[in-house]
Amino acid sequence: MGSRMVLPVISRIVDVSTYTSTQLQSIGAISLILLLAAAYFWLPWKQPYPGIPVIKLREKGLSKWIRPLNLQMAFRVQELFALGRKTGKPFQVLSFSGWRIVLPHRFADEIRTNPNLTFNEILHVEFPTTLPGWEGISEGVRRDEFFTDLVHKITQCLAHITNDLIEETDWATRKWLSDEPDWQTYELRPMGFDIVARVSTRVFAGKKLSRNDAWIRIANEYGMTCVMAAAQIRMFPKFLWPLLNHIIPKCRSVQRQFREATELLLPSIEATRKWYEQDEAKKGPKTENAIGWMIEVQKGRPMGLKNFVGAQISLSTSALEMNFTLLGFCLIAIIEHPEVLAPLREEMISVLRAYGSIMNRYVRKPTTLSDGTLLPAGAMLLVLDDGAKNSAFYEEPEKFIADRYLRMRQKPGADKRHQFSTVSSDNLAFGLGTHACPGRFLVHDEMKTLLTFMLLRYDWRFEPGYIRPQVSYFEHIRIFPRDLLIQARRRTEEVDLLQPQAS
């Protein structure tokens, strides 16, 4: 019925005489869907939450009439947040996912353990987690805490995987970085992503897959493909998502990558399952990686093939972007502040010789904050992570001070605080409270290993005359510069990184 109503409009635009009746009905149905979707996207389909100020920027010229309000959050988020900070209280902005309530930093401690506020539900809202191909997202936010138990198991096994981290870092850095003594130019993002992906995969899926280029490509691409596909599918009403998952090209790419991942992981999953099913007397050496740890923490929870594959992809995607961004900005800071390089190398050498190598939330129930602000059930929250720029927490917060946290730990009673993996309200990099990142200890070990190899074996600088591009944002997510070029040259390390105590 609806598609027939659209046909007269179509006949004014195209020559309908060239189409069969069936084709016209299909065109009409598709057109109706597109019209409904356009109305859904451009009109105010959801009202702001009552009692909380709405923050929006003034648009000029044509943008005032043609740019949807949610694009301000997408591309002008820093201006929006700066305007919102001036209110001194909670405010709300329109994102692609709907209205988001943004809380000032002072509420971080108040909400960190509130049982009415949860992190995982946000991903169920923003991604079509129940649809085929999206298991790489859904397994990471299972409501039965399987993924959290898995990451805790990885943390417990860190001492057993240190040698694997070292061996893979050695292999991955040699794969990319030349032994030539002259300066060589590299694009930081693809190089860094590949190195981090291989080191992380060594822990999660074993040596065979860490050297498999097809798997590394999926590990690198799946997360971003999901983000782009979700941004497109969210333009449409949810009841259309199951259909659109098979139509939108990016959604089809998500499914294709998941199928490819399944084919690549299947032999390792079957071999690991077989090992655990054997009698103890017949078992050979145990392989330490996340596939086996999944079996160990399963505890009666459903773990079919798609669960195994989804959990593996979720581990890779959740670790990769954070680890690469951290590594990339560390290298940039070192290049921009070369005075820190000598003391860093000195500490690395002395430690190696002495010891060797071994906050988003979703509101489940109505919640009232200390200032009287009512957070409605179903609201999506953000907490401003500006504590690191607050002079109440940090001395000269706008200035780069390489040993800032070392100095802070030297103050009386602070020796256990301000560690890399410590979570606190003044720095929300790893979240806070119940949903603080459980994998931060693995990140700690990976970063130390990667930086040790990269700084002791190579000198680093920007390409002469190169101007570093500014950091950009998509909504509240910081985007690492895509085309950043750096140069490296081989140097002779002062200690054998594979056998440091023998040096």
Q: Where are the beta strands (DSSP E) in 257-395?
A: 360-363, 367-368, 374-375, 380-383
**Whole-angstrom distance, CA of residue 489 vs CA of residue 460:** 7
C-alpha closest to that of 90 among 125, 51, 58, 47: 51
Residues 6+ apart with CB under 8 A from 56: 69, 72, 80, 93, 94
Contact criterion met (CB below 8 Å) for 166 and 498: yes
Q: What is the 3-state secondary structure (H, E, C) of 81-142?
A: HHHHHCCCCCEEEEECCEEEEEECHHHHHHHCCCCCEECHHHHHHHCCCCCCCCHHHHHHHC
3-state secondary structure of 171: helix
CA 67, chain centre distance (Å): 28
3-state secondary structure of 256: helix
Structure tokens at 129: 């987690």
Structure tokens at 368: 């009232």
Q: 330 a known binding residue?
A: no
- Bridge partner residues of 361 (DSSP): 381
**Whole-angstrom distance, CA of residue 292 vs CA of residue 268:** 10
Binding site: residue ranges?
Answer: 437
Binding site for heme: residue ranges?
Answer: 437
